[in-house]
Structure 1
Amino acid sequence: MTQTQTQESPALPRAGRNVGKPIDRVDGKAKTTGAARFSAEYPYPGLAHAALVHATVGRGRIAGIDVTAAAAVPGVLTVITHLNAPPMKPPPPVSLLNLESLASATTVNYLNTDEVHWHGQPVGVVVAATLDAAVEAAALVRVSYEELPARVDFAAAEGRAKPQKGNALQPGESRKGDAEAALAAAPVSVDLRYTTPPHNHNALEPHATTAAWDGDRLTVHEGAQNIAWVRGHLAHKFGVPAQNVRVISPYVGGAFGGKTMIWPGTILAVLAARVTGRPVRLALTREGVYRTVGGRTPSIQRVALGANEDGRLTSLIHTSITRVGAVGGGPEQVTSQSRHLYDAENIFVQQNLVKLDLLSNTVMRAPGESIGTYALETAVDELASKLGMDPIELRMRNEPERNPLDGKRFAHRMLREAYARGAERFGWADRTPEPGSMRDGRWLIGMGVASAYHPSWQFAANVTVRLSADGTVVVRCGFHEMGMGGATAHAQITADALGVPFEAVRVEYGDSDLPTGPGAGGSGQTASVAASLLTACDKLKRSVLALARRSSGSPLRGVRPSGVEARDGGLYQAGAAGRGEAYAAILARAGRTSVEAQVGSETRMGALAGQVRFMSKLMLDRRRWVKAACGAQFCEVRVDPDTGEVRVSRWVGVFDVGTVINAKTAASQLRGGIVMGIGMALSEATLVDPRHGRIMNPSLAEYHVPVHADIPPIDVSWLNEPDPTMPLGLIGVGEVSITGAAAAIANAVHHATGRRVRDLPITLDALM
């Protein structure tokens, strides 16, 4: 096996016929043939189009708006501003007892205020019969402002940062011992500063909304990561019952956090449809996404490490400064991994925040850990260089048996095994340790390594499973398909849980009319749905067996469940086809066309009970143990010593992610995270004008993401050892592989050149 091949994971000890296999995605044909319909592709009679007018100041009040020229454009139906917009309810206060309150991207009540809070805030929306007319008219709206001082310069605001307040989900500060004193006394130490820039979302499908009102009933087609949040938020904003709002989102063209919250484009599309009485589509341009959809916060980080001469850590300090908007945004868990990765005698971690007059930041793949691992894992490499020690040896010497801060057990942790396998597959033993010591012709060769880390999450999920007399199974849950293969994975889980063929299972998803699913975030959707799905399948089997025991003429009449499970050739021992036939026979004898099992309730009290169960389980789990995915990232780079050009030439990633449900989609997810990590390390940066907060590179022409030529063959594999505390033993694969990736590249660049770059991205000028 070459180092660029993907290892086929070994079979799970408890795997069924489908779980763990590389089964093709059930939506593959629809997407590759163009049959899949995305949110901007739903036809409606009389459909109108909307375009936004963006503020051109960073802070201020609207002094006047002239819409005369815009309204005169042929085809324009209306121009909506704060002067004529109907009132909407402001966002509700944030509360962990009402998780839907977390949906608001900002606190601004769009077009119900004359205040401007960031450069790019929508101050008007034009609705026209055609998209061209809407865009032309939006450019003709003239807005004057009473400009106010705006704080938009993140670097200049560093001195105003304040400690982040902790909450039930995220502590702001943690400590063990006296880390500063231990650092001062350490025989060997590093005390370093790292910075990362803002990043913007660039999903393949830019944000788009198609909205249609029928009286007080609303239908919204929206690429969303949390259908329930969109439904609840719009119901609140427009004063209608939640059951009157239907959100349809079967396909989402990519989303790594940017479609979690509800941004102004969604709300204003719904507003425009209500004002005009016509269906309205509002599809953001790429620049519109940058102006109205938040991205990753920039960061300033301090990492200080003290060690004995044998490499044992005596002190670990990790502090961060990030930003939120003055009108919204949330802190990122930048120091998350530093609470768990290394067994230091003394630890201090603290997160600090500064508020700026900029668009709210939002979650972006592995929020916090992606940039936090860059600083921590680069600092560990720098300490290894100072000690004259192999960076893997230093990490393994400080690998904890229990959580370093509080002594909690790890629910599952096989980082040692990931490093051992990765080092062998990558050929780490061939690395010569001195910087600049490896060459291939004119190219300087560097090898770097870093740890990956991301916590695992599990949320509430409502599910129904229906078994029909013809042997087919329908799973219904309002979860989200953003390209990760969720419907395929849950069909695999169901097929094995019920013992029926994979082809007999159909999964319905992406619609608020379905049982409420979890949001797609935190790498938690699959585990969350799987937990409820397994419970529902168990309930359904019990119902079928109950029918069998009551049916006259049934060979199982009167047999207790434990006896059925033990019988040779019985229902639980039959093959997939035989099990399906057995189910069908039982339903036929009972005169039933189908049997259905349900987990969760859609009533208001049921939803509240679900949130209480979620919070209770979360708190209980956190008291018991630390749950996380982890891994080892190995990177080889080539650097041109004359131009500073960096090329990533080889990559090996080995991950401890528990059970893998689908080997094909998991490999794709892991590779995708690494690709994003390469972009973070070498090219991506949102450039913000420090005078008024305007984003200066709001397009893919100037915001540089990796392309095919930038990416080497990426070898990913996983240990496939189940986490016993998680449903089916799965942990989650969506986010862990971006963590540690930027650090592995930075460390490889240092090995190649001897240059330490502590400010991302690593551009040509930094190496010249």
Structure 2
Amino acid sequence: MTTATGTRTTVQGAVGTAHTRVEGRDKVTGAARYAGEIPFADLAHGWLVLSTVARGRIRSVETAPVLAMPGVLTVLHHGNAPRLETDFIGLLGTPPDPTCTLFQNDRVAHLGWPVALVVAETSEQAREAAEALVVHYEQEPHDTEFSADRTDAYALEGHMPAVVEKGDLEAELAASAVALDQQYTTPEEHHSMMEPHAATALWDGGRLEVVDSNQGASWVVGELAKLFSLDPSAVRVRSEHVGGGFGSKGVRVHQVGAVMAATVLHRPVRVVLTRRQMFSLTGYRSPTAQRIRLGADADGRLRALEHLSLNQTSSVHEFVESCAAPSRVMYDADAHRTAHRIVRLDVPTPTFMRAPGEAPGSFALESALDELAEKCGLDPIELRRRNEPERGPASGLPFSGRNLEACFREGARRFGWADRDPRPGVRREGRWLLGTGMAAASFPSGAGPSTAIVTAEADGTFTVRIAAADIGTGARTALVLIAADALATTPDKVRVRIGDSDFGPAMIAGGSMGTRSWAWAVTAAAGELRERLALGTDIPPEGITVRSDTTEAVGALARKERHSFGAQFAEVAVDVTTGEVRVRRMLGIFAAGKIVNPLTARNQLVGGMIWGISMALHEEAVRDRASGGLYGADLAGYHVATHADVPPLIEADWVDDPDPDDPVGIKGVGEVGIVGAAAAVANAVWHATGVRHRHLPIRPDRVLQAAAGEPHA
């Protein structure tokens, strides 16, 4: 909106105003094409063949009968596939997962390991041939049993310290008036995004092009270039529309397989994973076993805090689920110890999943704080207030901002927390026992180096180009609003193009850092462009273009602890005769920086809270010891919260919390919404029934067993 003030025109800021998605019409009309839908001439289709044993070696692959089937073009396997370069460190600071370095040897590391790729003229022909392919194995005994008492677990030093400690933990525990020592577990969970993984690869004039569904085109370029010994300039990756990622859509088998086949056949090849294949090939949240020990004075002030986390990883790649990370930020104590350990099993490699570490870690930590509050006879919010740290408990760094208290205050007011009877099991409505619970939330707020290109067009509009990824978060729309303000114009004058690696390196959509990182680059380029336009330069037909690079600017962020915070509140109803748990209402209040677009931000936060309900009550992937595979590896067998499970009264809001060190004031909202949500539900179930559930999900059978005083199953 513009208003005239004398002879000067001022522009009302777009950031902070609700705006529908700029690509919304294209999506609902089908004009927006996803990676598996884009047409290509002479397109061939690849179908992966997965192992039927959980550990062993491939003895032989009977390709001849399959090659004789209609439409089949080739069968790639360890005996004939192109060789890959695997000795490098990738974007995330680790070597490539051998799951993705396809067909380089005869080893089978888990059930569902990729052993061959059948390529045919049509998808149907490829699938039929893949299902007919006979592979012989030399099977070996496998181990897929994860438990808290594994003796072969070990600490891995990597991108974060495996162990952080200060003070004499045992002495402080011994001197504490109140102590707690409990074990909490979370199960294996899967991303289950709407759009499956899909990629099309082709060579064009000596340059590799990949049309993909991913969370960072620059990321995929870098990994594919290293794997196939190419210069990054010889690889282009496009990913315009993505139907969800949640941490899973990085470099996976489908891109590598498509590139291999396109290289061999000299024509475009598309590989799309089935839902069942995704359960073994695209990562998941590892099950965790977490031990928490707390010691406090009689007034509830912590003297000791220990958070030990164990997760599984595959036998071929190491991945740490950093569950103790929330304890390194949320609460201080005189003695403080946090540690991560992993155990290698014959299972697929886990990966990042929405709020990695913080989501399962907050369940354990915030459940333990609730138990401590009960022991101390304190309100759960008051206990947390008494243990607010002045600096990072583990890092010692100052906080850039920590408005958690404001979230507590506003959330308690709106939820009606002051009227809560703290006694468990006293509220009843017919057959339902009612209870309320709360938990705190936090998630790191960082930024990564990015480049952006902004062009002033001759017609008075502007074009922004950046290799960002909108995985359903509304990032494309947010960048329109940010660019409009930075250029002192209106959103209708700005076009944003994303998802193309040719626009230059940019941060991935992950770690709640995407929009913040891209906004920084767009703001920098727009500022320089405005300076050039202020000189009165005429705009030529090709426009005036400015490119930015924020590598140096974002480096200063490491000098402080930077996090989004939040307070989660839940009310549940529990029927102890059937074991049914219903969430009746939820409220989340967050301190998550400057909110760029309230419409899509609220969508992200509420979505995270709904996932918290799903995590608390529904999600659980269970492995069969005999086969090493999952029971019900599909969306029929793997339960997620649906409409009937989600209350109509679920609300997310925020307090004023701009980051003073960010050009726009952004922190990030993509993941903090799920953090603490499962703990709030679990704490509410305790308040309703008087029984603690320390093992997720809170299934009906577990409710019934708890009511009968039986141990959990």
Q: Give the alignment's TM-score, normalised by structure 2.
A: 0.94
CA apart distance, 1:374: 0.3
| Aligned mate of 2:364, from 369, 375, 385 | 375
Q: Does 1:271 align with 2:260?
A: yes
What amino acid is the match of 1:182? E
Conserved? CA contact 2:179–2:372, under 8 Å: yes
What amino acid is the match of 2:366? E
Question: Which has a greater percent of helix?
Answer: 1
Pairs within 5 Å for 1:582-731: 587=538, 594-600=543-549, 613=552, 618=555, 620-622=556-558, 624-712=559-647, 713-731=649-667
In the other structure, the counterpart of 2:309 is 320
In the other structure, the counterpart of 2:139 is 147
Q: Does 1:117 align with 2:117?
A: no
The verdict on how the C-alpha distance between 1:362 and 1:490 changes in structure 2, with shifts beyond 3 A counting, is same
Tell me the distance in 1 between the aligned counterparts of 2:608 and 2:319: 22
Unmatched segments (≥5 aa) in structure 2: 1-9, 705-713
What amino acid is the match of 2:119? V
Deviations 1:335-374 (A, max 9, x none): 1110121132221111111122221111000100000000
Which secondary structure state, in structure 2, belongs to the residue aligned with residue 143 of structure 1? strand
CA apart distance, 1:236: 2.5
Conserved? CA contact 1:69–1:137, under 8 Å: no
Tell me the distance in 1 between the aligned counterparts of 2:434 and 2:99: 50
In the other structure, the counterpart of 2:189 is 199
Tell me the distance in 1 between the aligned counterparts of 2:120 and 2:91: 36
The verdict on how the C-alpha distance between 1:100 and 1:311 changes in structure 2, with shifts beyond 3 A counting, is closer
Which is further off, 401-410 or 727-736? 401-410
Deviations 1:409-436 (A, max 9, x none): 1101111110110011111122211111
The verdict on how the C-alpha distance between 1:665 and 1:465 changes in structure 2, with shifts beyond 3 A counting, is same
Pairs within 5 Å for 1:342-741: 342-545=331-534, 547-548=535-536, 587=538, 594-600=543-549, 613=552, 618=555, 620-622=556-558, 624-712=559-647, 713-741=649-677
CA apart distance, 1:592: 7.3
Tell me the distance in 1 between the aligned counterparts of 2:48 and 2:545: 46
Conserved? CA contact 2:99–2:253, under 8 Å: no
| Aligned mate of 2:324, from 335, 352, 361 | 335
CA apart distance, 1:535: 1.4
Which is further off, 663-672 or 468-477? 468-477
Tell me the distance in 2 between the aligned counterparts of 1:239 and 1:343: 48
In the other structure, the counterpart of 1:580 is none
Conserved? CA contact 1:90–1:108, under 8 Å: no
Conserved? CA contact 1:50–1:128, under 8 Å: yes
In the other structure, the counterpart of 1:17 is 13
Tell me the distance in 1 between the aligned counterparts of 2:80 and 2:360: 43
Conserved? CA contact 1:152–1:692, under 8 Å: no
What amino acid is the match of 1:387? C
Deviations 1:304-342 (A, max 9, x none): 111111111111111111122222242122111101211
What amino acid is the match of 1:638? A
Deviations 1:469-510 (A, max 9, x none): 321011111110111111111111111111111100001111
Which secondary structure state, in structure 1, belongs to the residue aligned with residue 502 of structure 2? coil
Which secondary structure state, in structure 1, belongs to the residue aligned with residue 132 of structure 2? coil
Conserved? CA contact 1:100–1:232, under 8 Å: no
Which secondary structure state, in structure 2, belongs to the residue aligned with residue 63 of structure 1? strand
The verdict on how the C-alpha distance between 1:498 and 1:288 changes in structure 2, with shifts beyond 3 A counting, is same
Conserved? CA contact 1:91–1:104, under 8 Å: yes
The verdict on how the C-alpha distance between 1:15 and 1:435 changes in structure 2, with shifts beyond 3 A counting, is farther
CA apart distance, 1:296: 0.8
What amino acid is the match of 2:208? L
CA apart distance, 1:102: 4.7
Tell me the distance in 2 between the aligned counterparts of 1:725 and 1:759: 40
What amino acid is the match of 1:701? A
CA apart distance, 1:692: 4.4
Which secondary structure state, in structure 2, belongs to the residue aligned with residue 714 of structure 1? strand
Conserved? CA contact 1:253–1:483, under 8 Å: yes
Tell me the distance in 2 between the aligned counterparts of 1:354 and 1:15: 57
Deviations 1:714-755 (A, max 9, x none): 111011321112231110000001100110011000111111
Report the identity percentage: 44
Q: Give the alignment's TM-score, normalised by structure 1.
A: 0.88
Give the RMSD, CA atoms, in angstroms.
1.9
CA apart distance, 1:392: 0.9
Deviations 1:586-631 (A, max 9, x none): 526xx6763222113xxxxxxxxx76x48xx55x543x32100010
Q: Does 1:189 align with 2:179?
A: yes
Unmatched segments (≥5 aa) in structure 1: 1-13, 549-585, 601-609
What amino acid is the match of 1:99? L
Tell me the distance in 2 between the aligned counterparts of 1:108 and 1:366: 23
Aligned residue pairs, count = 694
Tell me the distance in 2 between the aligned counterparts of 1:104 and 1:474: 36
What amino acid is the match of 1:132? E
